[in-house]
Amino acid sequence: MGEQNRPEHDIGLEGEKGADMEKRCNFWLPRKSRFCANSRLKDSLFCGNHNSRSEGQWIPCPIDPSHSVLKQNVEGHVKRCPILKQVQSLSLQPFYRKGINAGNEDEETLRVRDSILPKTVTMPLDNISSEMKRDVVHNISVLEFSNLIGKIESVYESFSKDIQDSYQISEVCSRWIKCAGEERKLPFQEKHVMQQASILGNLEIFGVLRSSLGRKPSECKEEEEEEDGVPAVIEFGAGRGYLTQMLADCYGIKKVFLVERKSYKLKADRSLRQNEGLMLERFRIDIEDLDLNAVESLEGVPFLAIGKHLCGAATDLALRCCFPEKNDQCDANKNFGGLAIATCCHHLCQWKHYTNKKYFLDLGITKDQFHAITWFTSWAVDANHGSEISDITDCASNLLSIDRENGDQHASGVEKILTDMKPSERAALGFKCKRMIDMGRLLWLRKRGLDTQLVRYVPSTISPENYLLIAKPHSRM
């Protein structure tokens, strides 16, 4: 397996690089221009990841589908799967409620119009794959596709002027960046640090955060005692927690809750724990299963919810987590102090999880058309991010001018239309679809009595995923 992937001049490198190289996997990684660094399996030239798989049927592990196992070995594997102990421990926690924030596939069912899919195509109730979304698009008629593009164009035009540039680096964050850049106690990547700083800067400008910089100690103490303060922060999809690290250092947050389903090395946790007076809890849990009302240390505490590049449906899960609609306990809304989520990966969004289905249904966009729109969003990355994405007016006009009388005769013509579109047209269409999805989320928050904004928080040259959803109660300054 590995020998055929290795360049001829590298065969036999093990002898030249000594005994250590002889213990390493022989699989050549073309993208990294080196061999795999993992240790070989016994009696094999390759590691477990690159060793030729045994013949047989491999199926996803019932406990953790991220890895697979031979079908005949499933019974024995589930007893010793390394994820088993974690799952069992998590299920005993009071804040674990399976699928509490998942949403409902049948929400607003009375408003759903007929499906645009052919009668022979069916869609499962759970996650819809990218391939299935593509099939939805390819199976609609040219006329239906043209109408959908027209709706996207019209809706985007109705709200695009309300989205403003808001690249905000506060003074306290600027000082933090200077010190962090000099000391290098934490991993320092400028593009990530500037995004983190602007997220916090926008929260300060928006009136959610108040910096202690330039104020007297007595004033800071009074601030801490105010009932409408935000003494706690919940970072959804926290990863290593570096956004919270900057927030805690610059704005004096007293309680930190990091929510992340994966395990990471080189986390900010150690540095945060060295901060006297700061309480830190990390929850290794899917946002879908987290009941905030059952977190004892958060009871009655106003909180700020943040997330940097919260992928796809994770944004919707986080919004539902902050504002549970089906909960027999207290309403978390009364403890909500503010929110800032940088959205991304809209192609991973799912109808079941999406917060504002009513927004799309009222526009005459069905569940299947929603999934088509999410598929279009993957094209947004095709753009040249050194400049702003151009309009798709010409593209929409071309599609809308298709002979409607003959449109239905070209049921298989959409695929060719998409192939013939210029990359810039596809990118602009994907861009507008991303903003439609974000606007639905903004309106969902607004219906809950919140002051909301959608802003471009960094230039596209820093990150093409540069839109920030922010919200706060009207009662805050």
Give the Cα separation of 249 and 253 in Å (integer).
8
Confidence category of residue 127, pLDDT binned at 50, 70, 90:
confident
Computed over every residue of the chain, the mean pLDDT equals: 81
Q: What integer is the mean pLDDT of 221-249?
A: 78
Residue 13 has pLDDT above 70, yes or no: no
Q: What is the pLDDT of residue 458?
A: 96
**At residue 432, does pLDDT exceed 90?**
yes
pLDDT in tens, 28-54: 888 788 888 888 888 788 887 777 665
Nearest to 107 by CA among 358, 307, 312: 358
What is the share, in percent, of the chain residues with pLDDT greater than 90? 47
Greater confidence, 41 or 144? Answer: 144
Residue 363 — very low, low, confident or very high, per pLDDT cuts 50/70/90? very high
Q: 15 falls in which pLDDT band (50, 70, 90)?
A: very low
Q: Output the six-digit token pair for 285.
A: 């849990």
Residue-wise DSSP of 338-376: EEEEEEE-GGG--TTT-S-HHHHHHTT--HHHHHHHHHH
pLDDT of residue 2: 44
Q: Do the beta carbons of residue 454 and residue 163 sit within 8 Å?
A: yes
- CA-nearest of 324, 311, 327 to 260 is 311
Residue-wise pLDDT tens digits, 462-473: 999 999 999 999
Mean pLDDT of 247-256: 90
Per-residue pLDDT tens over the stretch 158-180: 999 999 999 999 999 999 888 87
pLDDT for the residue numbered 325: 75
Q: Which residues contact 19 (CB under 8 A, 6 or more apart)?
A: none
- What local confidence, expressed as pLDDT, does residue 95 receive? 94
pLDDT score of 213? 60
pLDDT digits (tens, 9 = 90+) for 182-191: 665 656 688 9
332 vs 154 pLDDT, higher one? 154
Higher pLDDT, 197 or 334: 197
> Which residue's entry shows tokens 């799952």?
87
Residues 6 or more apart whose CB falls under 8 angstroms from that of 267 comprise: 240, 241
Whether 335 shows a pLDDT value over 50: the answer reads yes
* pLDDT per residue as tens digits for the range 88-114: 888 889 999 999 999 987 655 434 333
Output the pLDDT for position 119. 34
Quote the CA–CA distance of 433 and 156 in Å, as a whole number.
8
Lowest pLDDT segment from 247-261, 380-394, 446-460:
380-394
More confident of the two residues 439 and 254: 439
Of 24-38, 166-180, 272-286, 352-366, which gets the smallest average pLDDT?
24-38
Note the pLDDT tens digit of each residue in 203-232. Answer: 999 999 987 664 544 444 444 444 445 789
Give the residue, 124 or 178, on which the prediction is more confident: 178
Q: Which residues make Cβ contacts (< 8 Å) with residue 103, sequence separation at least 6?
A: 316, 320, 352, 353, 354, 355
Q: How far is CA 117 from CA 114, 248, 420, in A?
A: 9, 49, 23
pLDDT of amino acid 226: 45
DSSP-derived pairing of the beta strands 303-311 and 336-344: parallel
Q: How far apart are CA 223 and CA 201, in angstroms?
A: 19
- CB neighbour list of residue 62: distance below 8 Å, 6 or more residues apart: 74, 78
Token output for 222:
């009074």
In the chain, domain spans: 1-52, 55-92, 100-477
Range picked from 27-31, 117-121, 156-160 for highest mean pLDDT: 156-160
> Which residue, chain included where needed, has tokens 């009207």?
474
Q: Are 470 and 455 in contact (CB under 8 A)?
A: yes
Alpha-carbon distance values, 277 to 56, 249, 256, 465 (Å): 56, 12, 11, 35
**CATH homologous superfamily of 100-477:** Vaccinia Virus protein VP39 (3.40.50.150)
CA distance readout (Å), 411 to 90, 107, 141, 406, 418: 49, 30, 4, 10, 13
**Mean pLDDT, residues 52-79 taken together:** 79
Who wins on pLDDT, 407 or 26?
26
User: 18-32, 380-394, 433-447: which has the minimum mean pLDDT?
Assistant: 380-394
Which of 328, 344, 338 is closest to 293 using CA atoms?
328
Percent of the chain with pLDDT over 70: 76
In the chain, the amino acid numbered 151 is K
Q: Which two tokens stand for residue 81?
A: 């799967």
How far apart, in whole angstroms, are the C-alpha atoms of residue 167 and residue 468?
10
Q: Report the C-alpha gap between 170 and 205 in whole angstroms.
A: 9
